[in-house]
């Protein structure tokens, strides 16, 4: 694996084809009061037992393509199937009229903890209160069976309202990290139109140019 020395005081140039984001980690050590959410009888929150890999990838693409969610799309199918069907993971869907419009996934593989490993709603639900409804239900599921800590991470590739949303939901930030990855749009793992808020720079584009 290629290594990169990142400056902790200033700028670091990335190799061609790489992208980077700042990750914010947040945690909740006790349940917070549910946030008020509009009455949405049209929404159904349910756990998906034994998720189908194609269904899961389609759901991740629906909700996360704009935010460059890609890890489940590139993982070998058998490995992904074993991961999402692990009895210590819970995949919950938010559905409207039978269509998936949100996902709230919990990873319980660390005893006493629950990581919200994927969380989000489709663009059709932005501003409708669906995300608050989904978070309330996800946290209900997370804080059970002696769970002492629920945590989540988000990054600068995600929706700009993500950090404020988690703070309003009762999470407290505890760590930053820098994540450097291959740009999945250059390899065809995501379409070039994905993540329009993140610049697409092709290797060899304006070689040698410096600010």
Q: Stretch 81-104: mean pLDDT, rounded?
A: 96
Does the pTM surpass 0.85? The reply is: yes
Q: Judge whether residue 208 has pLDDT over 80.
A: no
Domains of the chain: 18-182 (3.40.630.30)
What average pLDDT does the structure give for the chain? Answer: 93
What tens digit of pLDDT does each residue of 31-88 get?
999 999 888 899 999 999 999 999 999 999 999 999 999 999 999 999 999 999 999 9
What tens digit of pLDDT does each residue of 118-136 get?
999 999 999 999 999 999 9
Question: What is the per-residue pLDDT for 203?
Answer: 87
Q: What are phi and psi of 61, to 5 degrees?
A: -65, -40
Which uninterrupted H or E stretch holds 29?
none
Q: Where are the beta strands (DSSP E) in 29-161?
A: 43-47, 89-96, 99-107, 113-121, 149-155
Q: Judge whether residue 198 has pLDDT over 60.
A: yes
Burial class (CB in 10 A: 0-12, 13-18, 19+), 81: middle
Please report the DSSP string for 128-174 in residue order.
Answer: TTHHHHHHHHHHHHHS-TT--EEEEEEETTS-TTHHHHHHHTT-EEE
Name 1's Cβ contacts closer than 8 Å, sequence gap at least 6. Answer: none
In terms of phi and psi (left: phi > 0; alpha: psi -120 to 50; beta: otherwise), the region of 88 is alpha
Q: Stretch 150-161: mean pLDDT, rounded?
A: 97
Q: Which one has a higher pLDDT value, 207 or 15?
A: 15
């Amino acid at each position: 694996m290629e290594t990169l020395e990142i400056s902790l005081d200033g700028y670091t140039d990335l190799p061609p084809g790489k992208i980077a984001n700042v990750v914010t980690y947040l945690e909740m050590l006790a349940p917070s009061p549910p946030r008020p959410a509009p009455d949405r009888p049209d929404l159904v929150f349910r756990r998906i037992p034994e998720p189908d890999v194609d269904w899961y990838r389609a759901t991740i693409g629906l909700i996360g393509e704009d935010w460059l969610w890609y890890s489940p799309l590139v993982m070998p199918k058998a490995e992904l199937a074993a991961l999402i069907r692990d009895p210590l993971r819970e995949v919950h869907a938010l559905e409207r009229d039978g269509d998936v419009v949100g996902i709230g996934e919990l990873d319980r593989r660390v005893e006493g903890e629950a990581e919200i490993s994927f969380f989000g709603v489709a663009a059709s639900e932005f501003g409708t209160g669906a995300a608050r409804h989904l978070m309330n239900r996800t946290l209900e599921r997370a804080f059970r069976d002696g769970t002492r800590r629920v945590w989540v991470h988000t990054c600068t590739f995600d929706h700009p309202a993500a950090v404020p949303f988690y703070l309003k939901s009762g999470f407290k930030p505890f760590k930053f990290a820098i994540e450097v990855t291959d740009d999945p749009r250059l390899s065809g793992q995501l379409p070039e139109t994905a993540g329009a808020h993140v610049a697409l720079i092709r290797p060899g584009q304006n070689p040698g140019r410096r600010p």
